[in-house]
Amino acid sequence: MNKPFQVLALGGDHIGPEVVASGLSVLRHVSARYEIPVEIDEDLLGGASWDVHGTFCTDTVAAKARAADAVLIGAIGGPEWDNIQIDGPITETDGLTRLRIELDVFNALRPARAWNALLSRTPYRHEVVEGADILVVRENAGGIYYGEPRGREVQSDGQIRAFEISEYRTEEIERIARCAFRAAQARRGHVTSVDKSNVMETGRLWRETIDRIGRDEFPDIRLSHLLMDYALFAVAKSPQDFDVLLGDNLFGDLMSDLIGVISGSLGMLPSATLPGIARPGHPLKGGIYEPTHGSAPDISGQGVANPIGTILSVAMMFEHGFGVASAARAIEIAVEQCLDSGLLPPDLGGTTSTEDLTLAILERL
Ligand code: NAD
């Protein structure tokens, strides 16, 4: 038997542990079915960690995450912890960001598709959204979220000045460009890169670099550029026209919620954030897999959270973390069959609980 893949599961806060429990049921079931041995360790992150350890991510959890083949995360945060003031770098104030930095996961893959059973849950006419299938590739380790210096200062006239720096080095743009072009090779062969090259220095470097990598290394891929403001309009208007959307940390963040509209609910959206380029059939160690939604305190503890974003994140773990795309496809098909048979959680207008929906997906697997 092969050596088991080590998975660290961090439920986090509010609905995080509820959806991670569903994800782990699917992970265990599919790993047994496909004879892919996994060993799962569970621990605390975010507010749950703060309440026990007085820190949002302990050194132990960070070390376990660095050693794991894959990390499954629910969601962190909530009003109980959102206003805790800590002096220190962002790695002290945000446990998830600490893990992202320590694992150097820069390649955030955030897919969204229009599900036939959910077309009427979107604000679109069916013919505008049917078949839409978009992958946002977000640079997740640099840019304005991490640039230094950052902070605030009181100026001589009493005004408070807050500031952060947007910065990118060519190598950071080159590596995420390759991730997006590779992803497009496995899809429909079209990358649309977004930036603000009309007003930002980082935007100009971004566009030049993406152009060069596309021209020199991926002549088979169609490359388009859009300014970010127009991109929001164009994607919202005609989602079927887009395949891979490539953006920096900030713009990729914005686009990944935007494309969620075509899926019908934030609860449907998975993600994989990887430390490199995933190659079909080759396990990639050290990725973080998580739904893109937050901890949804408004519905926590009621057993109604939609687990599909987490379950599809587990599918991405099978594909990229373990290199078994067929297991990922099986999970996606089971999810689609449930939706087609009308089993919908409350965020999609139904009444099916988290647990019942998870059981229904397991039955179809
Ligand atoms: P949110 O995503 O938690 O919730 C937005 C809305 O979507 C809510 O009405 C919620 O009920 C609904 N929703 C989200 N996920 C759902 C699911 N799986 N099933 C059904 N409904 C779902 O965003 P928010 O309210 O802005 O943030 C709440 C907390 O989550 C904040 O503390 C925020 O900082 C945190 N947050 C964490 C992450 C993360 O861990 N990656 C991401 C975003 C926000």
Domain of residue 78, CATH code: 3.40.718.10
Same domain, 3 and 101: yes
The residue from 145, 211, 285, 356 that is catalytic is 145
The residue from 51, 220, 229, 241 that is catalytic is 229
Task: Give nearest CA residue, ligand 1 atom 37.
Answer: 294
Ligand 1: which residues within 6 Å by Cβ? 15, 19, 75-78, 82, 96, 266-267, 293-299, 305-306, 309, 347
Find the domain containing 303 and state its range. 1-108+269-365
As a whole number, the mean pLDDT across the chain is: 96
Task: Output the pLDDT for position 38.
Answer: 98
Tokens (6 digits) for 143? 């840019």
> To test ligand 1's pocket by mutation, which of 80, 140, 261, 266 has the most ligand atoms within 8 angstroms of CB?
266
Give me the number of domains the chain comprises: 2
- Which domain-ending residue is among 263, 287, 303? 263
Q: Which residues in the chain show pLDDT less than 70?
A: 1
Residue 193 lies in a domain: yes
Q: In this structure, what is the dihedral angle of CA atoms 317, 34, 36, 330, given to the nearest 10 degrees?
A: 0
Same domain, 41 and 151: no
Give yes or no: 229 in active site: yes
Q: What global pTM score does this model have?
A: 0.95
Residue 114 lies in a domain: no
Task: Output the pLDDT for position 91.
Answer: 79
Give the number of the atom of ligand 1 that is nearest the alpha carbon of residue 291.
41
Same domain, 73 and 130: no
Write the burial class of residue 157 (CB in 10 Å: 0-12 exposed, 13-18 middle, 19+ buried).
exposed
**Could you write out the DSSP letters of every residue in 219-267?**
TTSEEEEEEHHHHHHHHHH-GGG-SEEEE-HHHHHHHHHHHGGGGSSGG
Give the number of the atom of ligand 1 that is nearest the alpha carbon of residue 306.
19
Task: Output the pLDDT for position 39.
Answer: 98
